[in-house]
Chains A and B, each alone.
Chain A
């Protein structure tokens, strides 16, 4: 009977404790003081800086880097938090290679951008280590706002609302706040329980009451919130996982990648976390990469990502794809799942079909391939479940299955705003959710104060 690394089926304890610790250490270790100074010195302090324009939260990047360079990391952190109160997490999880760093003039000129993400982490770490709070609350307005979901959008909205003196109640379905920062990010991007530390940092402003275990549609209705609060912000993210549409996907060992990632983040002992010996991940986005890489790091012998289109169509950035490859994950393109093969109810292989573009349309070629697998992860996207909004008593406008909002984040319902992954038109990024939450909060503030004081 094989043990450890080569255990058949889905099993834990594939590695030594040291290997787990090493595999799940910080992906991008923090810059030390000297490294931060040297890196900040590379910034040209560009005018109308491309990096700043590429940031969904419009952080004044040249200014915060200059403040690091001049020995003022606290001022630097304030420059970041002024625009993005979750700047600490964004420094860790932003795909900077497709945002600020992609357009850094030094990336364009030399292929070597200023390491903006790591510098942002340096400055925010300094401020958070001192629990330096920059924003006093305004005098209480007596207005109350309900926020659904304690993810990046909800936290950013809550902080901005609290700053303006409103009283915020966050209703969060899960046992912990943080949303995808807590449950949906690869463990090596957010070590040392950073997501909870950030929640504490953000809510230190006061006036934010987080109630866990409160799910919309289960424990309360939207109509309750509209009745009991002056305004409502919806930031509940995406509750559904798209199906494979392959025969036999109900077999044991076919798992949602997001659940696997969440379980891993919550695991107190990584060795207890079972993973297959041969893992196949279906999908082409960040979730697919996170699930595949972490499977490998947990000791899976063989991990293959199968994506139904070409490399150039993958949502995962080139950096993420390289990260997967560097960790020994095989990425295969132009393959779609057809059938999950099970033995005794447990997955033993997956049958895929080669695909090709026929004109504008993706079609199966008829040629099949079977990969041995004892675990299959579904990572082909998440969907918004609108049923939770039922009971609102009014029609709720959706667009392409997500909540429709205007430029201010207003939904079709009076006094209800929304932001983050649950709205249409977003890009499923933490940093965009923060921007949407922040901007919706400003809109709510304008609405509440003008209505209240007119």
Chain B
């Protein structure tokens, strides 16, 4: 049986599935239920500085988009950091950690961008025996208007400064949580590393409006006729999050910096993908908020079974395995040639591949052959774009088949070359580094 115990910057947990800092980790009641269900760790919902807690809106805090069957695809929220008193949270954290010593408890923090504020909160968190802290530089709504959260996370210099303060004032591992609401995620990651962070976690939520009420002309979620951009999360953000994880994992400056992957993780497979791209563990929120804590059982069993099936003994065997295969476009092999192939047995003759190709791509799929409704690939036209695969409603009906070396590509009339050749050396590239033959 595969060993899925996790050691993330020295923080140990029985599995790599942590609950992200969010409503599910706001208080002991929820966290204990999560641990009973099997979660490996939690990042406790963000604490603010001592004093009157923040207040939340009393109308809707969440908005969503759904598939046709009401499957929740994306969630957004305008909830702020914890609205419970600091001392209550600290007391609960200490008790829960005492009662669940094998689970990871990391405390998310967000205080004003002043050293004394951080110096004040770090020792009281340390006193709870929590395993580490996560700096919330990501929250995109409300707190950012007050100079915290994403307002810090969008300025690399601030990130570096605050991380440095934290590293100087606590023995606890520091995880810096990054906002995706920036243009290049490598910059804040590099800044966090420069400040001495032990790890980064990403992504936090994405600025979003989930809908507009066309009667009231108000954005959703609507509070007394008005709405505000909220943080978007859930399955819809996973591709964005995975790219950002990969960008940091493969950046020469941050390569090797531990990453806690976050963003739409719903199944074991999502988690495995994040980890393959370089995440040392994963954090989950929306899936738990949609289905309850029990889903972790599916994640644990699924990850174990997959690892067993593939012969991966421990998480170290999978973490970062896909990172070297993420590259820049300019390094992709232009001599690799694939053609779409339609399995006629599986084809249900809906015609979507044809019209997608005919109207919007390369006119490479028939719709009629000898007077009969029939869809097949015209290899002489097919550029291997994969659009037909993506629009086909039948899984594995259309596949991309690579042409073997030496086989004639009917589109170009040239045989497939065995040589790897990318744009950097291509004759059409005016900046080509090596002259073409």
Which A residues are closer than 8 A to B by beta carbons? Answer: 33-34, 37, 41-42, 45, 47, 62-63, 66-67, 69-72, 74-75, 78-79
Q: Report A-chain residues with C-beta under 8 Å of the C-beta of B304.
A: 75
Q: Is the pair B394, A72 in contact by a Cβ cutoff of 8 Å?
A: no
> Are A67 and B298 in contact (CB-based, < 8 A)?
yes
Q: Which residue of B lies closest to A34 (CB)?
A: B395
Q: Looking across the interface, which residue of chain B has its beta carbon closest to that of A74? A: B305
Task: Find out whether the CB atom of B395 lies under 8 angstroms from the CB atom of A75.
Answer: no
What is the CA–CA distance of A42 and B301 in the complex, to the nearest angstrom?
Answer: 21
Query: A75 and B305: CB pair below 8 A?
Result: yes
* 6 interchain pairs, CB-CB under 8 A: A45-B291, A63-B297, A70-B268, A70-B298, A75-B305, A79-B301
Min CB–CB distance A80 → chain B (angstroms): 12
Given contacts A70-B267, A70-B268, A70-B269, contact A34 B302 (CB under 8 A): no
A63 near B298 (CB under 8 angstroms)? yes
Q: Is the interface of A mostly helix, strand, loop or mixed?
A: helix
Does residue B292 face the partner (Cβ distance < 8 Å to A)? yes
Question: B295 contacts which of A34, A37, A66, A72 (Cβ < 8 Å)?
Answer: A66
Mark each residue of chain B from 303 to 334: 1 if its CB lies under 8 Å from any CB of chain A, else 0.
01110010000000000000000000000000
Asked whether A41 lies within 8 Å of B69 as measured between CB atoms, the reply is yes
User: Are B291 and A75 in contact, CB atoms less than 8 angstroms apart?
Assistant: no
Inter-chain contact B302/A72, CB cutoff 8 Å: yes
12 new A-B pairs (CB below 8 Å) besides A63-B297, A67-B298, A70-B302? Answer: A34-B394, A34-B395, A34-B396, A41-B69, A63-B298, A69-B267, A70-B267, A70-B298, A71-B302, A72-B302, A72-B306, A75-B305
Task: Determine how close the nearest CB of chain A comes to the CB of B310; give it in whole angstroms.
Answer: 12
Assess A33 versus B395: contact at CB under 8 Å? Given A63-B297, A66-B295: yes
Range class of the B interface residue count: 20 to 34
B-side interface mostly:
helix
Instruction: Tell me, rounded to whole Å, the shortest Cβ–Cβ distance linking B66 to chain A.
Output: 13
- Chain B positions within 8 Å of A69 at CB level: 267
Taking a contact as CB atoms under 8 Å apart, the answer to whether A72 and B395 are in contact is no
Residues of A contacting B36 with CB < 8 Å? none
Q: How far is the CA of A46 from the CA of B304 in the complex (A)?
A: 24
- Closest CB-CB distance, B265 to chain A, in whole Å? 12
Whether B294 sits at the interface, judged by CB under 8 Å, is yes
Are B301 and A72 in contact (CB-based, < 8 A)?
yes
Query: Interface centre among A34, A37, A72, by most B CB within 10 Å?
Result: A72
Q: Which residues does chain B contribute within 8 Å of A62, judged by CB atoms? A: 294
Contact B69 A66 (CB under 8 A): no
Whether B297 lies near A72 (C-beta < 8 A) is: no
Across-interface contacts of B298 in A (CB, < 8 A):
63, 66-67, 70, 72, 75
Q: Which 10 A-B pairs have the closest CB atoms?
A: A75-B301, A70-B267, A72-B302, A75-B305, A45-B291, A66-B298, A34-B395, A74-B305, A72-B305, A70-B302
Q: Would you give the shortest CB distance from A119 to chain B, in whole angstroms?
A: 15
Q: How far is the CA of A66 from the CA of B295 in the complex (A)?
A: 9
Complexed CA–CA distance, A72 and B308 (Å): 12
- Asked if B294 and A63 sit within 8 Å, CB to CB, the answer is yes
- For A34, what are the chain B residues with a Cβ–Cβ distance below 8 Å? 394-396
* Residue contact B292 to A72, C-beta cutoff 8 Å: no
- Do A75 and B302 form a contact, CB below 8 Å, given A45-B291, A70-B269? yes
Quote the shortest CB–CB distance from A69 to chain B (angstroms): 8
Bound-state Cα–Cα, A20 to B264, Å? 52
Residue of A nearest to B294 (CB): A63
User: For residue B306, which residues in chain A have a CB less than 8 angstroms away from its CB?
Assistant: 72
B71 — which chain A residues lie within 8 A by C-beta?
41
Complex interface: chain B residues within 8 A of A33 (CB): 395
Which of B69, B269, B297 is A71 in contact with, Cβ under 8 Å? B269
Interface residues of B in 346-399 (CB under 8 A from A): 394-396
Chain A residues with Cβ below 8 Å from B267 are 69-70
Residue numbers in A under 8 Å from B295 (CB-CB): 45, 66
Q: How far is the CA of A79 from the CA of B305 in the complex (A)?
A: 12
> In the assembly, what is the distance between CA of A41 and CA of B235, in Å?
15
- By the criterion CB–CB under 8 Å, are A47 and B292 in contact? yes
Q: Cα distance A62–B305 when bound, in Å?
A: 18
For B267, B304, B305, the residue with the greatest tally of chain A CB atoms inside 10 Å of its CB is B305
